[in-house]
Amino acid sequence: MIGFVIIMQKKIIIDTDPGQDDAVAILLALASPDELNCLGITTVAGNVPLNLTSKNARIICELAGRSELKVFAGSDSPMFKPLITAEHVHGKTGLDGPILPEPKMSLQDKNGVDFLIETLESHEPGSITLCCLGPLTNIAIAIDKAPKIITRAKEIVMMAGAYFEVGNITPAAEFNVFVDPEAAKIVLNSSVKKTFLPLDVTHKLLVTKAQIEAFESFGTRVGKVVSEMLKFSERFDKQKYGSHAAPLHDPSVIAYLLKPSLFSGRFVNVEIETESLLTQGMTVADWWGVSGREANANFIGDVDIEGFFNLLTERLAVL
C-alpha cells in the first residue's frame, strides 16, 4: 500500500523589523513554500527606523528570488513612547555585514496595518497565522482599529519576552516588548491564541563558527550573505555575553511553525509591565503556576538545538 503524507500549507503574514536575524527568519519562511504561504510582509520600526526595515524586507525578498511578494510599511513609532532602535547590534542599515544592492521592488502603497486588517477580514476565519518578529505595534494598532479582526487569526507566534533569561535591552526586558510594551499588552489581552518564543529559547540557539562555515559552504549568494550578516551581528553579542557564539532570535518563530516538535513549553499566565520605569516591558510569566492568574499564552522554554540548526541549514541551502 502506498502511503501519502499530506502537508497542509499554512497561510502566514510576517510582521518584522529587519535586522539580520529577521532576515534569516524571512529566508527560512521563503525557503519553505510547501508548508508556508506568505501572504505579505508588514514592516515596523524597531531594530532600525521604518524606512530602513521596509527597505531591508524588500532586499531579503529579492535575495530569495521572491520579488513578487508584497511588502507593506506599517508603524513608524511605538504607540505611546518614542522609538528605541538597536543599531548597536544590527549596524546603521539594520543589515550591516554584506554589501547589499538597493531593492528594485517597490513598497506597496497600502499601510501595513490596513493590509493586516483587510487580509484577516477577507480570508476564512482561523486560516492566517501572524508571525511577529519585531515590536508588536502594527498588530496592536490593527486590534485597536478593528477589534474583531484578531478573532479571525489562527494564532500569533512571536519572538518576544523572556522569563528565566529576564532581559537583553534592560536587565528586565526583551527588546521587542520593551520597544512597545503597551502594544504587547494589547496583543496579550486579545482573545487570539498566542505563542511566545522568548529569550529563554533564543539564547540557546547560538550560531557557532562551524554553523557560519556551513552557510558559507553552500557556495550560493544566500549562504554568503547570511554568513556575512551573522558575522557582523554576533560581534556585539559575543562581547556582551562573553560567549563564543551569539544567539539567533527570530528564525525560532518560523522553525516553530515548520516543526513544532522541536520546541516545548507551558501554557501559562503572562503579563506585561507597562508602568514601572525599572521593569518596563518585562514579561512576567507564571512558569510555576503560583499566581492563580488564568493561563493565557503558550510560553516556549526549550528547543532541540541540533534539530533547529539542521532544519535551518537544510532549508537555506535550497535558496
Q: How far is CA 152 from CA 143, 195, 197, 273, 311, in A?
A: 11, 16, 22, 27, 30
One-letter amino acid for residue 35 of the chain: E
Q: Are 70 and 228 in contact (CB under 8 A)?
A: no
Candidate ranges 92-100, 125-133, 163-171, 203-211; the one touching Ca ion (CB under 5 A): 125-133
Rounded-to-integer distance, Cα 224 and Cα 72, Å: 27
Candidate ranges 14-22, 60-68, 76-84, 219-227; the one touching ligand BDR (CB under 6 A): 14-22
Q: Is 249 a catalytic residue?
A: yes
In the range 263-302, which residues lie near ligand BDR by CB under 6 A? none
Rounded-to-integer distance, Cα 214 and Cα 216, Å: 5
Considering the complex, state which of residue 64 and residue 117 has its C-beta at the smaller distance from ligand BDR.
Answer: 64
Candidate ranges 5-13, 17-25, 285-293, 297-305; the one touching ligand BDR (CB under 6 A): 17-25
Among candidate residues 300, 19, 308, 39, the one with its CA nearest the CA of residue 175: 19
In the range 101-160, which residues lie near ligand BDR by CB under 6 A? 133-134, 159
Minimum distance from residue 88 beta carbon to ligand BDR (Å): 10
The answer to the question of residue 168 lying near ligand BDR (CB under 6 A) is: yes
In the range 13-42, which residues lie near Ca ion by CB under 5 A? 17, 19, 22
Percentages (nearest 5) of helix, strand, coil residues in the chain:
40, 20, 45
Q: What nine digits make up the cell of 54?
A: 521596509
Q: Which does 129 bind (CB under 5 to 8 A by kind): ligand BDR, Ca ion, none?
A: none
Binding residues for ligand BDR, per CB under 6 A?
A: 19, 21-22, 47, 86, 89, 133-134, 159, 168, 174-176, 249-250
Residues annotated as catalytic (active site), given as ranges: 249
